[in-house]
Amino acid sequence: MKQIDELNAVLAYIKQNFVGKDDIADLLGIGLVARENLFLLGPPGTAKSAIVRLLCECLEGGKNFEYLLTRFTEPNEIFGPFDIRRLKEGELVTNTEGMMPEASLVFLDEIFNANSAILNSLLMALNEKLFRRGKETRKLPALMFVGASNLLPEDDALSALLDRFLIRVKCDYVNPDRLHEVLLAGWNMESRAKEQQPVISPQAIIELQQACRQVDIAPVRKQYIDVIHSLRNTGIKVSDRRAVKLQNLIAASALICKRQVAELSDLWVLKYIWDTEEQIEILAGIINNIIEKEPAATAHPQALTNKVPQAEEVMKEVTLLVQKWNDSTLSPEEQNVVKDKLRYVQTRCDWVSDAEQKQFIQKEIDALWQRMLQTL
């Protein structure tokens, strides 16, 4: 399909301009094709906003909306003010010109600053692509919502907001060894002419979204179900609703690779459904172990990217858990938390590449399990 070539050209252009951000660019493409929302987690200065802005620039003919939320952001700033002329006639109608309800691509920075005044409307917009205010209800043209924050939410109400973003990506500083590439790419981007910039229309994205629904994922459904069971047993929450929607990401991966049938490697997208940072390496280890069993020349490039945990980091976590267990004042509930964390760490240990280091860490984990069993 011509539309796939256009999208891949845009994604390649983003990767060219942002060194070390290939995973973010590819997942933005997945989100667009699957029409699922994406969340970026990372400290300031990691190019979260700049990457999304460049994608917006490549969306030819589309209306884009970007806003930095604060605790004091009002509904008018996001959805638009009430139409004064209609208000005089006794009608509450929102003037949405230039605001979020008319945008093809929406980027909400520091999204967890959302307050109760906008939260309900925002949740409906993210989940159902609907705008509702008073008696008004309208479908949103948004192809995708992108949210960003420096921190994950702790409040339950804001956790519901995170749940509306199916794809979650960690955006870190680029490896210092690649700083020269970063500087060069940034310099070139400032001087590059707009004529060199590839584009894709919102209509082309809509056609890809429709084609995504036609991808056959039956060949991997059994393995996908097994993965969901495995993740739930590991303690990673995957609700039935999320399990259904995640199929869209698998289909999008296949379509971007110009395939009408999903293959095992398309499960790589499941590495990006974490709820906490601790789950990132756990998911990577579980999913990489599955997709490596069936290497394919037609696999998505991200399926070939492995991120294994560092032995030093895993050992440090084991040491901290030992120290916590030694605390004689631990309540039964706190003891259960330590046990749950040890299960996470044990899963991470399975993916340590160095056999000798892995054996040493496993020995320490087994010793802690034995101590725990003695307290029963």
Q: What is the pLDDT of residues 292-336, one digit of tens each?
A: 777 677 889 898 775 566 788 889 889 989 998 988 788 888 888
Region 213-235 average pLDDT? 93
Between 376 and 353, name the one with better pLDDT.
353
Who contacts 166 (Cβ-Cβ below 8 Å, separation ≥6)? Answer: 31, 34, 36, 37, 38, 242, 245, 246, 248, 249, 273
pLDDT of residue 193: 61
Residue ranges in 80-201 assigned as alpha helix (H): 84-88, 116-128, 156-163, 179-191
pLDDT recorded at residue 90: 63
Q: How far apart are CA 170 and CA 327, in angstroms?
A: 33
Distance, first Cα to last Cα, the chain: 61
Higher-confidence residue of 311 and 164: namely: 164
Q: List CB contacts of 81: < 8 A, sequence separation 6 or more.
A: 94, 95
Taking CA 142 as the corner, what is the angle to CA 138 and CA 148, rounded to the nearest 5 degrees?
Answer: 120
Predicted local confidence at residue 129, as pLDDT: 92
Reduce the DSSP state of residue 87 to 3 states and report it.
Answer: helix
CB of 218 closer than 8 Å to CB of 14: no
Given this model, what pLDDT does residue 347 score? Answer: 75
Q: What percent of the chain has pLDDT over 70?
A: 95
Q: What is the per-residue pLDDT for 195? A: 62
Sheet holding 38-41, edge to edge: 64-68, 105-109, 144-149, 38-41, 167-170
Q: What is the pLDDT of residues 169-215, one digit of tens each?
A: 999 888 777 878 888 888 887 776 666 789 999 999 999 999 999 99
Each residue's pLDDT tens digit, 11-32: 999 999 999 999 999 999 999 9
Q: Supply the mean pLDDT for the chain.
A: 88
| pLDDT tens track for 260-304 | 999 999 999 999 999 998 888 788 888 888 887 776 778 898 987
Q: Which residue has the tokens 């590819």?
A: 26
- DSSP, res 19: T
CB neighbours of residue 198 within 10 Å: 16
What pLDDT is attached to residue 289? 80
**d(C-alpha 370, C-alpha 359), whole Å:** 16
Could you tell me which of 127, 121, 118, 149 has the C-alpha nearest to residue 36?
Answer: 127
pTM for this model (two decimals):
0.81
Can you give the pLDDT at residue 308?
Answer: 60
Given the DSSP bridges, would you call strands 136-139 and 130-133 parallel, antiparallel or unpaired?
antiparallel
pLDDT digits (tens, 9 = 90+) for 56-73: 999 998 899 999 999 999
Q: What are 351-358's contacts with CB under 8 Å, separation 24+?
A: 351/281, 351/284, 351/285, 351/288, 351/289, 351/308, 351/309, 352/308, 352/309, 352/311, 352/314, 353/308, 354/311, 357/311, 357/315, 358/311
pLDDT tens digits, 32-91? 999 999 999 999 989 999 999 999 999 998 899 999 999 999 989 999 887 767 666 667
